[in-house]
Structure 1
C-alpha cells in the first residue's frame, strides 16, 4: 500500500491579484459599517450604507474567481482531500476564534442579553455547532441567526458548501456546461429576490435557502469569469475601483430592491471582478492593497463580537445620533486594529504551523 505524497509546489500560494485583494478589504469595511448602522437604525432607509450586505455577494463572486485561478490547474494532481485541507487551514482558524469571541460576548455582554435562558447544555451546543459550522438557529433575541454567537459564519457555511461542490464536480466541467449552470443560477436568484423583496437572506433559519441562491450564482459567475478569461485591461486603479464598489453599497434602500439588487449582483459585481483583475496597480497603493486584503478576513470574522453589544447598548441607553456616529467611527477604527492584532498574533502563526505540520505528514 502506497501513500500519496503531495509536491510542495502544489501547495504554494499563487501570485495574488492585489487590487482584488484590496477591494476585498473595502467590502469587509463596508460590512462592518453596515452592521453598526443596522443595529442603530432598524429603518434601512435611514442607513447611509443600506446595501453594505451585498459585500457578501461580492465576496462570493471573488471567491469563485480566486478558487478557479488558484486550483483549476492543480486540484486534479493534489487530490480532493489535499484541497479540503488547504481550505480548512485557510478558513477555519478564524471560524474557531470568531466562535470563542462570540461566546464570551454572549455570556458577558455588559449592556444586556439573556444567556441564562439557554442553560449550560444548550450554550455548549450553540458553541460546538458554531465551531463545526453546523447551523443551529435557536437564539430568539438574535433573530434566529444560523450561528447565534458568530453571525458572519453563515457565509462561511455556504463558502464551504461551494468549495465541496467545486472539488467534487465543478472543477471537472468545462465552460460549455458552466455557462448554462450560471444562467440557471441567475434565474433562481431573480426568483428569490422577487419572492423575498430583496437579496438579504441566507443568515437565519427562516431564509436559509436564500443563501444557497446567493452563493450559487456569484461563485459560478466568478469561476466563469476566470475560465473565460474575461479580464478587462484598464487604468482605473485601486482607488477608482474602490469608489465604484462603494457606490453599490451606498445605493438607496427602496421598494425596488428586488430589481436593483439582482442587477448589481448579476452584472455589476462580475464587471468589477473583471476590471479588478485587469487593472494596473500603481506602486503607491501596493502596500495598501496588500494590507487591505490581509486584514479583510480577520475583520469580517471578529467584528460581530461587538455588534450585538452595540445593539444592546442602543436599546438600553438610547444614544443620540452624534453619540452613535462617534461610537461607530471609533468602533470601526478599533475593530480594524483588533483584526490586525488577530492576524499577526493568531491567524498567520496558526496557519503557518498547520501548513508546516501538513508538509511533515
Structure 2
C-alpha cells in the first residue's frame, strides 16, 4: 500500500496512525493457535462423544473431550475479532455488498462442496448398510441460503448450523461496523443492544440472539487492542459485562471465553504445526463428520476394547486431517483467492 503525506504528517506518523497499516504489519499467531485448538476440539468431541454406542460417558477420555463443543464458542469470538480486523480503515456502510461478496466467496464454495461430499458418502454407505438416504430439493434449497436455522428442517451435517449463525453476524456487522468506528457512543450503544438481544426468550440455539455475547467479546477485543482513541476503561467494562451476561447461564462458555481472551492478548511465536492446523481448520470443520464420523462407525464393528477404540479415534482424526488438507488445497484455496480479488471501494 502506498503511503502519502496527509496534513503535513510524516510518513512514519501516517503508518502509526493508520489501523490498516498496523493490521498489515502484525501477524496474529495467537489466532492461529485458537483456530487449531478449536477445530481439533470439535473433531474429538464428535468422534468421542457423538456416538453413544462407541464410548460411554464414564470412559477415561470421554470426560475431558465432552467439552470439545466449546470450540464453536472460540470460533464465534474469533469471528467477532478477526472480521473487524479485516475491514479496511475506510470501510463505510455502502461497502456492505462488497463485504458480503467477499465473505460469501470465502465461505460458501467450500460449504457447498462439503454438502456434496456428505451426500456422496451417505449414499455410498447406504449401498452397504441398506439404510435409505433421502435429501429433498427443499432441504438443499434451505442449505444453500442457510435457512435451516429458521426452520425445523435439520442440516445434513450437524456443524452447518454454526455457519448460519456466522452469516447472521455478517449481516449485523457489515451494516454497523462503520458506525462503531465513527463514535465511541455508537460502539457502546450497539454492543449493549447486541447484549440485550441475548436475553430474548427464544428457545432456539440456531439464531444469533443467544450467541451475541461471544461475538461482542471478539469485537471489543479488536477495539481494545487496535483502536487508540476509545477509552480503554469503558471498553473493558463492556467486555466484563459481556462475560457476566455470558456466564449467567453458560458457565462453560464463560471460562472458554476467558481462555480465548487470554490467548488473544498474549503474543505467540510462529509454529508450523499450529499454522498448518489453523490453515486447514475451516476445511477440517466441514469434512470431519462425513469422513471421520464414518471411520468411527466403521470401527464400531472391529473395536471391542478401549485401546482399539482410542486407536479408532486417532485414525479418524488423521484421516480427517488428510482429507481436510486436500480439500483445502483443491476447494478452499481458490475460494480464498476469489474473495481476495474482490476489492473495497477506496475513499476519494
If the length of structure 2 is used for normalisation, what is the TM-score? Answer: 0.72
Asked whether the equivalents of residues 79 and 218 of structure 2 are also in contact (C-alpha less than 8 Å), the reply is yes
Counterpart check, 1:263 vs 2:251: yes
Map of 2:96 onto structure 1: 80
| CA gap 1:27/1:94 in 2 versus in 1, 3 angstroms | same
The answer for the alignment partner of 1:114 in structure 2 is 131
Displacement of 1:66 after TM fit?
1.0
Deviation of 1:112 after TM superposition, in Å, equals: 3.2
Query: Over aligned residue pairs, what C-alpha RMSD do you find?
Result: 3.5
Q: Over residues 23-48 of structure 1, what are the superposed CA-to-partner deviations in whole Å (9 max), with x where a residue is unaligned?
A: 11111011111001123436545423
Alignment partner of 2:155 out of 147, 157, 179: 147
Separation in structure 2 between the aligned mates of residue 182 and residue 41 of structure 1, nearest angstrom: 37
- Equivalence for 1:71: 87
Relative to structure 1, the CA distance from residue 303 to residue 70 in structure 2 (aligned partners, 3 Å threshold; closer, same or farther) is same
Are residue 172 (structure 1) and residue 179 (structure 2) matched?
A: yes
- Per-residue CA distance 1:202-223 (angstroms, 9 max, x = gap): xxxxx64455344322112211
Unmatched segments (≥5 aa) in structure 2: 1-19, 181-185, 228-245, 344-348
1:116-155 Cα distance to aligned partner (Å, 9 max, x none): 5x3xxx53443343333231899xxxxx77311x322110
Give the CA deviation at 1:183.
4.2
Residue 170 of structure 1, CA deviation = 4.9
Match of 1:348 in 2: 333
Q: Could you say which residue in structure 1 is the equivalent of 2:275?
A: 290
Q: CA deviation at 1:70?
A: 1.6
Q: Which residue of 2 aligns with 1:158?
A: 165
Q: 1:36 aligns with which of 44, 47, 68?
A: 47
User: Using the alignment, how far apart are the partners of 1:280 and 1:87 within structure 2?
Assistant: 27
Q: TM-score, normalised by structure 1?
A: 0.69
Shift of 1:171: 4.3
Q: Which residue of 2 aligns with 1:196?
A: none
Match for residue 225 of structure 1? Answer: 221
Aligned to 1:104: 120
Structure 2 SS opposite 1:146: coil
CA 16–97 in structure 1, closer or farther in 2 if over 3 Å, else same: farther
Structure 2 vs 1, CA of residues 104 and 74 (structure 1 numbering), >3 Å: closer, same or farther? farther
Equivalent residues of 2:39, 2:281 under 8 A apart: yes
Question: Corresponding residue for 1:20?
Answer: 31
Q: How does 1:274-313 map to 2 (within 5 A)?
A: 274-282=261-269, 285-306=270-291, 308-310=293-295, 312-313=297-298
2: CA distance between counterparts of 1:208 and 1:172? 29
Residue 134 (structure 1) aligned with residue 142 (structure 2): no
Distance 1:210 1:77 in 2: 26
Contact residue 19 and residue 289 of structure 1 kept, 8 A: no
Call closer, same or farther: CA 1:260–1:307 in 2, change over 3 Å.
farther
How far did 1:185 drift? 4.8
The partner residue of 1:60 within 63, 76, 86 is: 76
Return closer, same or farther for 1:136/1:265 CA change in 2, 3 Å cut-off.
closer
3-state DSSP class of the match of 1:73? coil
Structure 1 Cα separation of the partners of residues 317 and 46 of structure 2: 11
Which protein has the larger Cα radius of gyration, Structure 1 or Structure 2? 2
Unmatched runs of 5 consecutive residues or more in structure 1? 1-9, 139-143, 193-206, 232-257
Q: Secondary structure at the match of 1:22?
A: helix
CA pair 340-261 structure 1, distance change in 2 beyond 3 A: farther
Is residue 175–residue 224 contact of structure 1 (8 Å, CA) maintained in 2?
A: no
Q: Is the 8 A contact 2:284 2:324 kept in 1?
A: yes
